[in-house]
Structure 1
Amino acid sequence: MASDPRRPSVLWAQQTSETDERKNRINITINLPDIIESTVNCVVTKSTISFNAKIRSSVEGVPYAFNCNLYAEVQAENIRTVLSPQFFSIALPKMTGGVHWPHLMRRMKQMISAQQMTKPKHVPLGEAEIEQVVANLERGVRINRDGNPVRREDLYSMVSHDQSPIAVPGTDGGVSSFEDSGQPIAGEDDPGSLNNHGVDLVQQFERRGDAWCLKLAIEYFERSVNLTPDRHSEKPVYLTNLGGSFVRRFQQLGNMSDIELAVTNLERAVQLTPDGHPGKPGRLNSLGTSFMIRFKQLGDVTDIAHAVLNLERAVQLTPDGHPDKPNIAHAVLNRERAVKLTPDGHPDKPSHFNNLGTSFMTRFKQLGDVTDMENAILNLERAFQLTPDGHPDKPSCLNNLGTSLLARFERLGDVTDMENAVSNLERAIQLTPDGHPDKPSHLNNLGTSFMTRFERLGDVTDVENAISNLKRAVQLTPDNHPDKPGLLGNLDMENAFSNHERAVQLTPDGHQDKPFHLHNLGNSFLTRFKQLEDMPDIEHSIANHELAVELTPDGHSDVPTLLFNLGNSLSEKFRKTGHYHDLEKSIVTYATSASSPVGPPSICLKAATTWSVLALGELRRFHPSDQSALDAYRVAFDLLPRVAWVGLNIETRHHHLLAASSLACDAAAVAISANDPHIALAWLEQGRSIVWGQILQLRTPVEELRLSHPELAVELTRISKQLERGASDNNFGTGQHRQSREDAGQQHRQLARDWDRIVEQVRQKPGFEHFLLPKQFSELRNAARDGPVVVVNVSKHGCDALIIEPISEHLHHVRLEDFSYKKAQTLGQLLHSILSQQNLRARCDDRGAGPVFDGRFRGDDAFRPILAELWKSLVNPVLEYLESLQIHSPMGDGYFRITWCPTGPLAFLPIHAAGLYNADGTSSISLPDIAISSYTPTLTALLSRSQSITPHGSTFKLLAVVQPNTPGADSLPGTRQELEVIRKHIVSDSSVHVLEGPKATTEEVSSRMEECSWVHLACHGVQDVSRPMESGLLLQDGRLELSKIVEKRLDHAEFAFLSACQTATGDVTRPEEAIHLAAGMLLAGYRGVVATMWSIRDDDAPFVADKFYGRVLENGQPNHVKPAEALHFAIRELRQKPGGCKFSSWVPFIYMGQ
């Protein structure tokens, strides 16, 4: 409710001299607006003066009341009360020997802060009020000019209760004349009194913001400190107050000398305070805060280290149970203990959490340690939770939490962090009133978050919101504000060049943000150079980038980014000039960026890959035999575990790996060209299916470790299991309470750090030096124990086949001269077109198939040129080489056993069906006529679990999931025929468990998979292009997602038949990661999987299943026939069936695994 402008208000209050009896009094003038009736009563006791005034504006009106108590020893008979038509004045003389005036002055705060005493500051003074004020002020000047030492704070103590001085018309100098009148400080030599004066003035400054209060307070504190010897117990108190006042003045005026003096005085305060003193933790906390402020200005990493060190020391010296301990301790002690020690409702608790959180966040930005960022967010979350709605600190808490979550998104890539950041920053803006000094910075942060979200999700609305908020931030910030440069720098969507240039000009030398603005200006020059190719622009770009690097201390987390962009400018200059030294400088810069031990791994990886591109292309024009690209790739492979860190959820890791989608294939091609096929094979294994490999690492048996180091084996096993459970997207993604998600995410990342630490400890033990390191050829060659394995590498730098065969220790290389990356892409696009036009995106009957045209090939015949090209360019050269090695059929049936490990765009092409086919679908010569083919996503997938399928005597059980009518999907009547086929071959009810229709829920299917070693899934499958880990099987109550399947550790699992559509269809943007259901089943523990490359016809599935189970089962139990062979012959019979010779019918069936 707004204040009534007619309520009484203090116009002026003055304490006069202590030495002149005539002037030894306090004069108070109070305005009484619209008086009709008023009463002023004074009651005097030995030590108290109480007075009140009641004013009525009308007969019916309720009286306004003003009450105040002043404590002093006075002479009652000398009190004077004067009532004028609109004012009353009170003179309170001091009795000789009474209480000192400073004590009386402190009590005056009761009056000037009394509720409802003052009128709103937007109501102007009337002429009569101004005349009364001027009269009293002039009297104060006359008193001072008579030679009496009236103190400045006495003259200013209540000129107006407004936060700005009163402008008096017709006066010269106005209030400034008093500033000249009061230079000397009152003649008090008592340090305690001087300190108390300062405290009062600081409180007045915090209430009203008057700079003169702070200036006088510092003078009082300085004199108090100077008059007090170091041995005096109160000296640390005075030093702390002085240091705190310097901090306040620095925050108001920005003078660096103030923050230096603050640190100096606060350090002395800490030094003079003994351990065990109750005030020591608070002084350490103040000192830590001052170091933090100085760091933000100068960027000296020593300051940030001192800041956190002092805050942590404050915790160590605070006894348990003390109300201040948990306020600082949350980032140092564990969360549970902090909660136990902290009483709910402690008023300082949120602000201390907030301050410590921002300290950790600042150190993260400096050093790049993710643990600091996690600690920051924990503290800021607590500050947010403990700050009640409506509290003035709530917007600041939301802003700090939002910017920290945005920083974590930029580092770790979890989209949930980005969404939460935007949400918090939007709410911070809503709660920040217009005119608040923090409004521009909050708008700036929100604008930045919108731009970051656009870069990830591509919604153009976010760009519009970003520009709108950044413009508002700039408009609300005056030119001389220290934040103006940063705001101008961020508004780079429009007028980028001028904004960045102005930001550099406005940022003083030595400011920690100077390198950032120089970096942005350098990028602006580079952008303009690319448009206009004006050489001065590229020179200016390089100069600004070099200066930014020079001004940034070694070890700062921004160094890789600054170097990367300097490299970009240098390489652009080389493109223009062609000078070798420009190329050399750019490569050295990229290499330095890539090799940085701190900073975002994604930036380091970009630098490494750019380095490799320059080394392969431009550098070889000058030095054709140069092999420095191999050095770049070695650095890049070392970075992969940091880029796709196991502490991230699976979806986020897959997103990060988009930047490395062709890294393994390109590196392998370069290694092969350098005559090093072994390193090529190792890189292909290390750089493909990275996430799957990480999960397999977590499942690595530790029997050998358990024998020699059981404690490490137990700990590693425990952490590995917990990491697996937390790796799925949903475990700490959406669908949980915000704090639960945050806790789960932080716990998962801490487990990842613990796992890294224990693995490193294991590698320090004799005999375990290579524990969980990338496998070498001596291990990988065991993948070919059942027949040759052909790894086909497809890269823009060349295409090759690497052959591992069981009877040789050599790695064979076949150059595929007639195959290329572009050809693989073209064949893939053609296949995609055929499948789309034939509507082979969902399991269906022939009624769903339509005609397809491809030049002179029509309908199903359009498959022929694809299969022919694969035969001529890829398969036939490999078969000819295998024939030269005299590899024969192991079963004497005339068929090779070949396992294909395709890479790049080849991963989506049907190598197993390659051949020259006639118009009627019969073959002149084809791979199915010569070899039994299977696939594997990696060699490592063939190394695990070498035991045979279901040994005789063991329990065999098959889970059959049949969904003829899935809600929301087309019916699949053929699935019931599949069930009949299964019952035909497995007559014992104890050997098969059926989940059909309503019984086939996601939970039930998932549970039964853990009980049955074989599984047959006859249902719809879905490949989610935007979120591949959410691909899955459509069941009665929803989707059994790939992310849930890979969580399983099915040690008993042996075989899976996926009679569903697109179960081996991967993500075209991440071909090396094998993100599909078939690979997921392998990862869950199944040794072999029958899957489909695209949709199958409903009547084909029962036929293939019948022929398949007829071969692998005997008397309802598995026999010696391997699933790959059984599928091969089942497909052979399908091709002989009327209508079965269609490519669209038989080609999609494949076998993956051992």
Structure 2
Amino acid sequence: MALLSLYEAHRRPTDLKEALAIAREATGYRTPPHPQQALHLSNRCSAALANFDVFADPDLLDEAITAATEAVDRASPDDPDLALYQSNLTAARTQRFAMLTDRCRATVEDVLLTGRSDLLSSAVADGRAAIEAAPETEPRRWVARSNTSHALRLRYEAVGEDADLDDAVELAREALALVREVSWPTSGDLQEPARGPELSCLINLSAALMTRFFVTSRPDHGDEAVALCRQAAALAQADSGLRAVTLSNLAGTLQARARGPRHSTQNAERAVRAESAEHSVNAEGHAEAARRRDLDEAVQVCRRAVEAADKPLDRAVYRANLANALLARATGPADTDEAIENARRAVQDLPKGGTEWAIATANIATALSARWQAGPADQERQAEGDEVVTEACGHWRAVVAAATVAPAVRVAAARDASVLAARAGGPGTALAFAADAVDLLPLLAWQGLRWNSRVGHLTRLPSLATDAAALAAGVDSPRRALVLAEHGRAVLWSQLLDLRGDLGALERTAPGLAGRLAEIRDQLDHQVTS
């Protein structure tokens, strides 16, 4: 302890290293243990923590926690220093919690800046470890849950594992509940409680719920997401940056709810059909009016988000969202033209190859497609129409070719391009895009996903392969039609067959590698049967 005091006075790292070396020697295993072994272990914890502060070696935290835990276990209940040992253990666990939480947050920020979704698994692992490491008295436990939820949601968007999205929602709920248990200090002249943590958790939970609603289309999921987004937007009035985020999330949920409640409309119709057809019409009319209100508000809120954004990259994301909302509303040429303009400006400022860039690029293509379909069909405008179709397909082709973009986005781009090309009288181009979509199916439902997730992704695209086969048959290519149909039908079956290769020859030449492959095969098999 004298050496630690000496370090505090002179800041010589050698003093720290020497202090830890002496502490390790003092706690070496002896028979019987030293009478003051608990005190020595606690001192070793202090020395390891001091070294970690300087050298940032995670192994030092493990050493500190191990020593402090043993000190608490060895101390008798009446040991006057027991409170000190417990305090050191809490300090060590808090340090590990802070390290893992910061590392998770930094990795997520890196992913958002670079688009490197391969880093998300390490962010999730650090976040889960932080949750486990947090002492019960740690007031920032919500941070670990919120960060981990964010990482899980991003991984779901990149990979498509349904369990990630479920965990993201659950952890975001836990984070918000923990925040609301804390009495936060007041801030500002009004002496109102600081609401930053609650706002952060509301944003995270509403984003997770919004993503889940995109998948489930359940009305209750949409209503909850909209309600939470409204709460977040109300809390964010004083912060321009966060205000833009909350407005963008609110617009996204309103837009998703406008698309999704077709299920609720159908349920409403079924519920009243037995009473009268007139009631059924009324239910459908009310649902359509509600959908239109949601879309109008989504466009207005998106415009406010663009105005509130204080960073070029954020503004580009919100412009892409505005383009999407305008396309969803599509009341006429003015909406289409404004959508194209905002999507073009967004693409200029977004990093190429990222998900946001891909969505904005696809929005340009979708808007051009809408413009073409709404245009006159006379021969004088035929050349202009061909140019619009060519440009739209070019934007979709860029998305399909971007290997860093999520497979679901690439498949959707290929499918939409194929539909437009077919309508515009280009069967060859339509077939090429349809074949690209079918070729991407194994990547969309890749073997790293759980079986149910793979099945879910494929069942959402029931006619993709058959449509491609029909296009091939339409250009007198029956052999290719058969190949495309079989390729789409046998995605999961082919994956199962890939796991059944004979490893006998490999076992004779490289038994270690063969054993590792067999282990991986067993793990993938377990995903199918569990």
TM-score w.r.t. the length of structure 2 is: 0.69
CA gap of 1:644–1:449, structure 2 versus 1, over 3 A, is same
Inter-partner Cα distance in structure 1 for 2:130 and 2:51: 19
- Which residue of 2 is the match for residue 701 of structure 1? 502
Inter-partner Cα distance in structure 2 for 1:522 and 1:544: 6
Q: Is the 8 A contact 1:327 1:348 kept in 2?
A: no
Query: 1:463 aligned to 2:210?
Result: no
Partner deviation per Cα, 1:234-259 (whole Å, 9 max, x = no partner): 9xx9xxxxxxxxxxxxxxxxxxxxxx
- Which residue of 2 is the match for residue 443 of structure 1? 202
Q: Is the 8 A contact 1:518 1:547 kept in 2?
A: yes
Offset of residue 360 of structure 1: 1.8
- Which residue of 2 is the match for residue 641 of structure 1? 442
- Which residue of 1 is the match for residue 122 of structure 2? 375
Query: 1:359 aligned to 2:359?
Result: no
- Which residue of 2 is the match for residue 568 of structure 1? 366
Query: 1:498 aligned to 2:300?
Result: yes
For residues 37-76 of structure 1, the aligned pairs below 5 Å read none
What is the letter of the counterpart of residue 467 of structure 2?
D
- Which residue of 2 is the match for residue 686 of structure 1? 487
Offset of residue 497 of structure 1: 1.6
What is the letter of the counterpart of residue 96 of structure 2?
K
What is the letter of the counterpart of residue 720 of structure 1?
R
Query: 1:717 aligned to 2:508?
Result: no
Inter-partner Cα distance in structure 1 for 2:416 and 2:205: 32
CA gap of 1:396–1:722, structure 2 versus 1, over 3 A, is closer
Query: 1:604 aligned to 2:423?
Result: no
Offset of residue 377 of structure 1: 0.7
Equivalent residue of 2:228, what SS?
Answer: helix
CA gap of 1:657–1:482, structure 2 versus 1, over 3 A, is same
Inter-partner Cα distance in structure 2 for 1:277 and 1:462: 58
Inter-partner Cα distance in structure 2 for 1:328 and 1:610: 51
Offset of residue 367 of structure 1: 4.3
- Which residue of 2 is the match for residue 726 of structure 1? 527
- Which residue of 2 is the match for residue 552 of structure 1? 350
Equivalent residue of 1:438, what SS?
Answer: helix
Inter-partner Cα distance in structure 2 for 1:546 and 1:367: 21
Offset of residue 504 of structure 1: 0.8
Query: 1:589 aligned to 2:389?
Result: no
Q: Is the 8 A contact 1:595 1:635 kept in 2?
A: no
Percent of residue pairs identical: 25
Inter-partner Cα distance in structure 2 for 1:349 and 1:709: 40
CA gap of 1:619–1:709, structure 2 versus 1, over 3 A, is farther
Q: 1:476 aligns with which of 235, 239, 245?
A: 235
**Relative CO higher for 1 or 2, CA cutoff 8 Å, sep ≥ 6?**
2
CA gap of 1:574–1:542, structure 2 versus 1, over 3 A, is same
CA gap of 1:464–1:672, structure 2 versus 1, over 3 A, is closer
- Which residue of 2 is the match for residue 425 of structure 1? 172
> Would you tell me which structure has more helix in proportion to its own residues?
2
CA gap of 1:669–1:498, structure 2 versus 1, over 3 A, is closer
Inter-partner Cα distance in structure 2 for 1:684 and 1:560: 28
Aligned length: 404
Partner deviation per Cα, 1:916-942 (whole Å, 9 max, x = no partner): xxxxxxxxxxxxxxxxxxxxxxxxxxx
Q: 1:411 aligns with which of 155, 158, 181?
A: 158
Q: 1:668 aligns with which of 459, 464, 469?
A: 469
- Which residue of 1 is the match for residue 245 of structure 2? 486
What is the letter of the counterpart of residue 65 of structure 2?
P
Inter-partner Cα distance in structure 1 for 2:113 and 2:490: 33
What is the letter of the counterpart of residue 447 of structure 2?
V
For residues 967-982 of structure 1, the aligned pairs below 5 Å read none
Inter-partner Cα distance in structure 1 for 2:15 and 2:364: 52
CA gap of 1:688–1:439, structure 2 versus 1, over 3 A, is same
Equivalent residue of 1:660, what SS?
Answer: coil
Offset of residue 339 of structure 1: 8.3
Equivalent residue of 2:352, what SS?
Answer: coil
Q: 1:658 aligns with which of 459, 462, 465?
A: 459
Inter-partner Cα distance in structure 2 for 1:435 and 1:374: 32
Offset of residue 327 of structure 1: 6.6
Equivalent residue of 1:348, what SS?
Answer: helix
CA gap of 1:468–1:376, structure 2 versus 1, over 3 A, is same
What is the letter of the counterpart of residue 400 of structure 1?
N
Inter-partner Cα distance in structure 1 for 2:484 and 2:64: 53
Equivalent residue of 2:164, what SS?
Answer: helix
Equivalent residue of 1:549, what SS?
Answer: helix
> Would you tell me which structure has more strand in proportion to its own residues?
1
Q: Is the 8 A contact 1:327 1:352 kept in 2?
A: no
Offset of residue 479 of structure 1: 4.0
- Which residue of 2 is the match for residue 1037 of structure 1? none
CA gap of 1:670–1:458, structure 2 versus 1, over 3 A, is closer
Query: 1:580 aligned to 2:386?
Result: yes
For residues 511-910 of structure 1, the aligned pairs below 5 Å read 512-528=313-329, 530=330, 532-533=331-332, 535-577=333-375, 579-620=385-426, 626-703=427-504, 713-728=514-529, 730=530
CA gap of 1:724–1:440, structure 2 versus 1, over 3 A, is same
What is the letter of the counterpart of residue 323 of structure 1?
F
What is the letter of the counterpart of residue 466 of structure 2?
C
Inter-partner Cα distance in structure 1 for 2:450 and 2:143: 30
Inter-partner Cα distance in structure 1 for 2:95 and 2:451: 40
Q: Is the 8 A contact 1:327 1:353 kept in 2?
A: no
Please identify the structure whose Cα radius of gyration is greater: 1
- Which residue of 1 is the match for residue 309 of structure 2? 507
Inter-partner Cα distance in structure 1 for 2:458 and 2:57: 39
Inter-partner Cα distance in structure 2 for 1:684 and 1:325: 61
For residues 160-239 of structure 1, the aligned pairs below 5 Å read none
Offset of residue 515 of structure 1: 1.7
Equivalent residue of 2:476, what SS?
Answer: coil
CA gap of 1:671–1:509, structure 2 versus 1, over 3 A, is same
- Which residue of 2 is the match for residue 387 of structure 1? 134
Inter-partner Cα distance in structure 1 for 2:506 and 2:438: 27
Offset of residue 633 of structure 1: 3.0
- Which residue of 1 is the match for residue 52 of structure 2? 323
Inter-partner Cα distance in structure 2 for 1:327 and 1:377: 21
CA gap of 1:724–1:472, structure 2 versus 1, over 3 A, is same
Equivalent residue of 1:627, what SS?
Answer: helix
Partner deviation per Cα, 1:210-235 (whole Å, 9 max, x = no partner): xxxxxxxxxxxxxxxxxxxxxxx99x
Q: Is the 8 A contact 1:326 1:341 kept in 2?
A: no
Offset of residue 477 of structure 1: 1.7
Offset of residue 693 of structure 1: 1.7
Q: Is the 8 A contact 1:326 1:342 kept in 2?
A: no
TM-score w.r.t. the length of structure 1 is: 0.33
CA gap of 1:390–1:705, structure 2 versus 1, over 3 A, is closer
CA gap of 1:343–1:667, structure 2 versus 1, over 3 A, is same
Q: Is the 8 A contact 2:240 2:308 kept in 1?
A: no
Residue ranges of structure 1 left out of the alignment (5+ in a row): 1-195, 197-232, 238-273, 280-318, 330-336, 621-625, 731-1154
What is the letter of the counterpart of residue 665 of structure 1?
T
What is the letter of the counterpart of residue 337 of structure 2?
E
CA gap of 1:685–1:554, structure 2 versus 1, over 3 A, is same
